[in-house]
């Protein structure tokens, strides 16, 4: 999955709202019967008409029609999930919902809940038939067969099931190995465990080990609008008509919402999918269509039967039913490669169509493993919770991550498309061909894709220097997160779906990618790729754990001599995956400089005595280094290994004391480096004399390490800020980005204090020079990083209230207002900056214009840019109204964008108090709006920059009030509380120090004291 930002209304929560749900089916029946229902209803199409089953299944044990439509459910015998929070059972197929609600399984209630499925059965094959009434009442008629092999005798069959109505009288079980004249096996009881999301069929007699059985059932579902399971999305066509489509999002545990299944990644099977659709629509799934034939008795309806899939996990199953159009790639001959989008946006798919096949074929070479499917579809979905999803052969994307218009989209949009396409295609090997046995090793999926995506991007866009961008976007960003005590291991034990969802975070993605990059360097790329290739071949179509990968990489390393025979990859990498955090390597040079004592200890932003026994944390650290006498930054294999048993080692043969040393070349190691004051001063002097002697990435590393070490109290801010003195000569984007990112923390801490004026002056002196050099005159011929640098300069100059910048962006925006169809007035690369700061400087008229442009735009990235910008206004009433609109389903803001709108207000220094108050006052409404899931990202953005004891008290009160609802966000909440405490400690330790430094260096604002005519610094 491309991003770890992973929403629901009351209608779909059947267990909690059973009475409501049952009543609604009657209401829908009444509406249909009276002709009020505005859509062409499925009732008119199929009432009383059998739905023809596939020819090969016309046996007495297989149903000849799908279940009754949902609005007729009240008149059929069904089993529903109980409205209580305790498990319920049915004793016969005719048990009513009321009886279920009053029945409690005492054994399940008393035992400790284990959410893992029993291991007595192994799924082999699924046949899934679904008929979604997209243009009707959104019901889904379903039928499933699951073929299973018995690994050990068992008296029950346990499947996952959520938000599905089963028809118990249709549930049948047959022994595939004993079909001749055999009657169905007797299911004596149907049991539903809501907490564990189980359906259990209790049998009269045990299933025989080694035999294969087929369980089949009919069921009814619902196309929800909560962006999970099998759900509905909407858009308006060129004529303004509302159109619907049906799409899936199953990762991590939502395949069970579409059909009953063994919904765990380690339980792979093959799938044969049938989708019923109206003739004016199309359907796509993981595999190509094998056959299309009419739905018997339903004029205008067709069945699409898809080829049987390769063995895969349930979370990778996917299907879409829509009226979308597609483009075919012509530059790849062995795979059918198509990109799908709504017809009005199809031209925006050209870039994805160009880079997709090139990246896919490059990965075939990189992994030494051909792409195993006959086709690859990519489709842009109007409503989608994640950035994208790697479903095998059918990758689903948000429109913003697949569609790109070269005339209107920014370079960052283009970068985002290439990044996401490369990420998802990398998953076709790492995650799909070989899948983790359990979500504990999610990082094997996401970390590898997050690393390898840069290899794919570098292949298609070498001028972008994406290998440098990795350091800023992945490595340095996650080092801050992983310096918290509330961080977590990469490989972390999880059970309940709420726990699984929490590890789709920066640790799994960005730290995972960073330590894989480190491993790629200490093994060498040739050895690394050799080990990956044998790993993928060995576990093809199966499941693996991280130890399996370590074994194959070790074999390759020993063959190539890149690791000593007595050292394994597991020995090294277990120290990085099985414990949280990372070390700071402290280098203390001898008086003559030729040797150094090198130590390691866990780096914490705020180190407390015995913090989680930090003294016990040690790593196998690959040390790389070079000296100022003969600098060489290209040797990134470890010169010295620091073992996890070593706290202190001595390194010899360093240059003399007049020459600096730099450790962690190209910042390939996942650690920070601290030096003695003499070496820091040598680095400062080198940067001032000729900064180009130090490679670009290491310039960014030195700044980032120094500022974070100062933040943690391990280096003085005099040293850290002293490094910035050379920035007037810096021309590269990556060091500038590292420098600005770290000053952003100081800004957030000082923004509401009396010393902010001094910090503002300090930053303006640095940034305005860059702004004056680059200006607003963007050239489309400028390379990507030059455009990024210009956008950064304009953004910060305007954020610091530089008058010329504000006047320029407001003037440009007002020119656009007079000619809204002219796309050349504002450069695409500067749109986000110009929109935001023009709205911040403008009035209501500018805001209303932005809203109208949002409504009329056909470009998803443009709409997203406008949504962000509208949160930049400094008019409180507009911000308050915007917050209300964010959670109003009728406002025109899609549910997937609600968090974006909220964050845009919360990161506005004027809007943050409004956002925090709005979140506290409306938390229950917001919680329900996202489908009983705690919106952890809203808590993070609303409390950004909190650094007072009053802030901490407010957050603790909020957490205490909603403790139960926040369970699914517990890790994020814990990290946020720790961050606020750290901010308070930082203010106590550093506020006066930095204020004095600003004053001593002439940046404080001088005011006249009216009493004694003395000046007062603020």
pLDDT in tens, 11-66: 222 233 323 333 333 333 333 333 322 222 232 222 222 233 333 333 333 333 44
Residue finishing a domain among 577, 602, 629: 577
Mean predicted confidence (pLDDT) in 358-387:
95
Closest CA to 257 of 222, 210, 232: 222
Mean predicted confidence (pLDDT) in 268-293:
97
Least confident among 161-165, 532-536, 925-929:
925-929
Does one domain contain both 450 and 494? yes
Buried b (16+ CB within 10 A) or exposed e, 684-711: bebbeeebeebbbbbbbbbbbbbbbbbb
pLDDT at 182: 64
Is residue 338 assigned to a domain? no
DSSP 8-state class, residue 118: P
Is residue 794 assigned to a domain? no
CA 725-726-727 angle, to 5 degrees, is 95
DSSP 8-state class, residue 691: G
CB 762 within 8 A of CB 998: yes
Does one domain contain both 591 and 551? no
**Phi, psi at 963, each rounded to 5°:** -55, -45
Does one domain contain both 530 and 629? no
Does one domain contain both 496 and 530? yes
Least confident among 69-83, 297-311, 325-339:
69-83
pLDDT in tens, 863-909: 999 999 999 999 999 999 999 999 998 999 999 999 999 999 999 99
Range of the domain at 257: 10-321
Does one domain contain both 164 and 250? yes
Is residue 368 assigned to a domain? no
Is residue 489 assigned to a domain? yes
pLDDT in tens, 132-155: 999 999 999 999 999 999 999 999
- Which CATH number characterizes residue 637's domain? 2.60.40.1910
Does one domain contain both 278 and 129? yes
Is residue 782 assigned to a domain? no
pLDDT at 1018: 58
* Count of positions (residues) in the chain: 1018
- Which CATH number characterizes residue 165's domain? 2.60.40.1730
pLDDT > 70: percent of the chain: 86
| Extended strands (E) in 36-138 | 88-90, 121-132
Does one domain contain both 649 and 556? no
Is residue 601 assigned to a domain? yes
Is residue 40 assigned to a domain? yes
The model's pTM:
0.86
Does one domain contain both 712 and 603? yes
**Confidence class for position 739, pLDDT limits 50, 70, 90:** very high
Asked if residue 87 has pLDDT above 60, the reply is no
Q: C-alpha distances in angstroms, 408 versus 339, 414, 857, 858, 862?
A: 20, 11, 11, 11, 8
Is residue 749 assigned to a domain? no
Does one domain contain both 541 and 607? no
Domain count, the chain: 3
- Which CATH number characterizes residue 444's domain? 1.10.390.10
Q: Distance between CA 298 and CA 294 in Å, rounded?
A: 8
Please state the three-class secondary structure of 929-976 as a single string: HECCCCCHHHHHHHCCCCCCHHHHHHHHHHHHHCCCCCHHHHHHHHHH
Partners of residue 872 on adjacent β-strands: none
Does one domain contain both 527 and 601? no
Q: C-alpha distances in angstroms, 952 versus 598, 611, 955, 982?
A: 38, 20, 5, 11
Q: In this structure, are strands 394-398 and 375-381 parallel, antiparallel, or unpaired?
A: parallel
If one compares 966 and 901, the residue with the highest pLDDT of the two is: 901
Does one domain contain both 144 and 247? yes
Residue finishing a domain among 726, 754, 773: 726
Who contacts 87 (Cβ-Cβ below 8 Å, separation ≥6)? 104, 105, 108, 109, 191, 192, 193, 194, 195, 196, 198
Asked if residue 271 has pLDDT above 90, the reply is yes
Buried b (16+ CB within 10 A) or exposed e, 810-841: bebbeebbeeeeeeeebbbbbbbbbbbbbbbb
CB 453 within 8 A of CB 422: yes
Does one domain contain both 173 and 274? yes
Chain position carrying tokens 């309940």: 496
Which token pair is 11?
């209608």
pLDDT at 1003: 87
Asked if residue 82 has pLDDT above 50, the reply is no
Residue finishing a domain among 547, 577, 607: 577
Active site residues: 424
């Amino acid at each position: 999955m491309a991003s770890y930002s992973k929403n629901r209304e009351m209608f779909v929560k059947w267990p909690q709202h059973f009475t409501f749900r049952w009543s609604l089916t009657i209401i829908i029946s009444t509406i249909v019967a009276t002709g009020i229902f505005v859509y062409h209803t499925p009732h008119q199409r199929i009432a009383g008409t059998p739905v023809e089953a596939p020819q090969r299944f016309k046996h007495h044990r297989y149903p000849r029609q799908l279940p009754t439509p949902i609005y007729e459910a009240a008149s059929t015998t069904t089993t529903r999930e109980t409205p209580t929070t305790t498990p319920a059972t049915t004793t016969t197929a005719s048990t009513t919902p009321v009886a279920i609600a009053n029945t409690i399984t005492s054994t399940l209630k008393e035992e400790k809940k284990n959410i893992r499925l029993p291991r007595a059965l192994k799924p082999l094959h699924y046949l899934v038939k679904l008929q979604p009434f997209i243009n009707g009442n959104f019901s889904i008629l379903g039928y499933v067969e699951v073929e299973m092999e018995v690994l050990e005798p068992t008296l029950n069959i346990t499947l996952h099931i959520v938000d599905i109505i089963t028809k118990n009288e249709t549930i049948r079980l047959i022994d595939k190995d004993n079909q001749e004249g055999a009657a169905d096996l007797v299911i004596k009881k149907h049991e539903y465990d809501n907490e564990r999301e189980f359906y259990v069929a209790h049998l009269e007699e045990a299933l025989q080990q080694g035999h294969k059985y087929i369980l089949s059932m009919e069921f009814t579902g619902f196309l929800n609008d909560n962006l999970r399971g099998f759900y509905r999305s909407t858009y308006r066509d060129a004529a303004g008509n509302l159109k619907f489509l049906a799409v899936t999002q199953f990762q991590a545990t939502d395949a069970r919402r579409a059909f009953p299944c063994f919904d765990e990644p380690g339980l792979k099977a093959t799938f044969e999918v049938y989708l019923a659709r109206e003739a004016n629509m199309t359907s796509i799934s993981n595999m190509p269509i094998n056959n299309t034939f009419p739905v018997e008795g339903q004029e205008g309806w067709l069945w699409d039967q898809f080829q049987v899939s390769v063995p895969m996990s349930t979370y990778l199953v996917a299907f879409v039913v829509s009226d979308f159009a597609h483009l075919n790639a012509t530059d790849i001959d062995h795979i059918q490669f198509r990109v799908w989008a709504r017809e009005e946006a199809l031209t925006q798919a050209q870039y994805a169509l160009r880079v997709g096949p090139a990246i896919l074929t490059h990965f075939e070479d990189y992994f030494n493993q051909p792409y195993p499917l006959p086709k690859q579809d990519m489709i842009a979905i109007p409503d989608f919770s994640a950035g994208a999803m790697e479903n095998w052969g059918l990758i689903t994307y948000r429109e913003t991550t697949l569609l790109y218009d070269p005339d209107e989209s920014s370079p960052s949009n283009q970068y985002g498309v290439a990044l996401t396409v490369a990420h998802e295609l990398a998953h076709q090997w790492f995650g799909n061909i070989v899948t983790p046995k359990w979500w504990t090793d999610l990082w094997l999926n996401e970390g590898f894709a997050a690393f390898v995506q840069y290899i794919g991007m570098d292949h298609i866009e070498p001028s972008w220097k994406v290998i440098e961008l990795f350091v800023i976007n992945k490595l340095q960003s996650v080092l801050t997160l992983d310096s918290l005590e509330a961080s977590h291991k990469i490989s972390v034990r999880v059970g309940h779906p709420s726990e699984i969802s929490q590890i789709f975070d920066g640790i799994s993605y960005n730290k995972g990618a960073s330590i894989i990059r480190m491993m790629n360097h200490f093994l060498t790329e040739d050895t690394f790729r050799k080990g990956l290739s044998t790993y993928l071949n060995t576990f093809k179509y199966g499941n693996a754990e991280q130890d399996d990968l370590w074994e194959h990489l070790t074999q390759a390393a020993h063959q190539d001599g890149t690791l000593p025979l007595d050292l394994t990859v597991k020995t090294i990498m277990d120290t990085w995956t099985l414990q949280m955090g990372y070390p700071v390597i402290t280098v203390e040079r001898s008086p003559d400089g030729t040797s150094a004592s090198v130590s390691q200890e866990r780096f914490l932003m705020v180190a407390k005595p015995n913090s989680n026994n930090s003294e016990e944390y040690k790593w196998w650290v690959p040390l790389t280094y070079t000296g100022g006498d003969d600098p060489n930054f290209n040797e990134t294999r470890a010169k010295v290994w620091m073992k996890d048993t070593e706290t202190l080692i001595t390194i010899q043969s360093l240059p003399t004391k007049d020459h600096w040393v730099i450790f962690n070349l190209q910042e390939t190691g996942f650690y920070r480096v601290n030096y003695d004051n003499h070496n820091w001063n040598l680095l400062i002097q080198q940067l001032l004399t000729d900064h180009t002697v130090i490679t670009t990435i290491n310039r960014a590393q030195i700044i980032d390490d120094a500022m974070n070490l100062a933040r943690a109290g391990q280096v003085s801010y005099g040293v850290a800020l002293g490094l910035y003195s050379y920035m007037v000569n810096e021309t590269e984007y990556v060091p500038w980005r590292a420098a600005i990112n770290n000053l952003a923390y100081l800004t957030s801490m000082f923004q509401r204090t009396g010393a902010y004026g001094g910090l503002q002056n300090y930053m303006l002196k640095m940034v305005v020079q860059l702004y004056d050099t680059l200006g607003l005159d963007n050239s489309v011929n400028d390379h990507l990083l030059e455009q990024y640098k210009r956008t950064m300069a304009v953004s910060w100059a305007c954020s610091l209230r530089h008058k010329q910048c504000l006047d320029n962006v407001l003037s440009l925006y007002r020119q656009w207002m007079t000619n809204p169809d002219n796309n050349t007035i504002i450069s695409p690369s500067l749109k986000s900056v110009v929109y935001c700061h023009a709205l911040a400087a403008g009035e209501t008229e500018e805001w209303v214009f932005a809203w109208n442009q949002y409504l009329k735009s056909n470009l998803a990235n443009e709409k997203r840019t406008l949504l962000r910008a509208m949160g930049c206004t400094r008019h409180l009433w507009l911000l308050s109204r915007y917050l209300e609109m964010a959670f109003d389903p009728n406002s025109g803001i899609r549910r997937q964008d609600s968090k974006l709108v909220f964050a845009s207000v919360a990161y506005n220094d004027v809007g943050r108090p409004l956002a925090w108050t709005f979140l506290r006052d409306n938390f229950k409404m917001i919680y329900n709006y996202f489908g009983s899931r705690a919106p952890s990202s809203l808590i993070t953005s609303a409390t950004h920059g909190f650094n007072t004891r009053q802030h901490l008290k407010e957050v603790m009160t909020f957490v205490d009030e909603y403790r139960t609802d926040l369970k699914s966000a517990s890790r994020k909440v814990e990290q946020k509380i720790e961050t606020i405490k750290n901010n308070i400690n930082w203010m106590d330790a550093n506020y006066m120090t930095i204020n004095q430094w600003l004053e001593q260096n002439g940046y404080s604002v001088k005011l006249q004291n009216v009493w004694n005519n003395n000046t007062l610094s603020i």
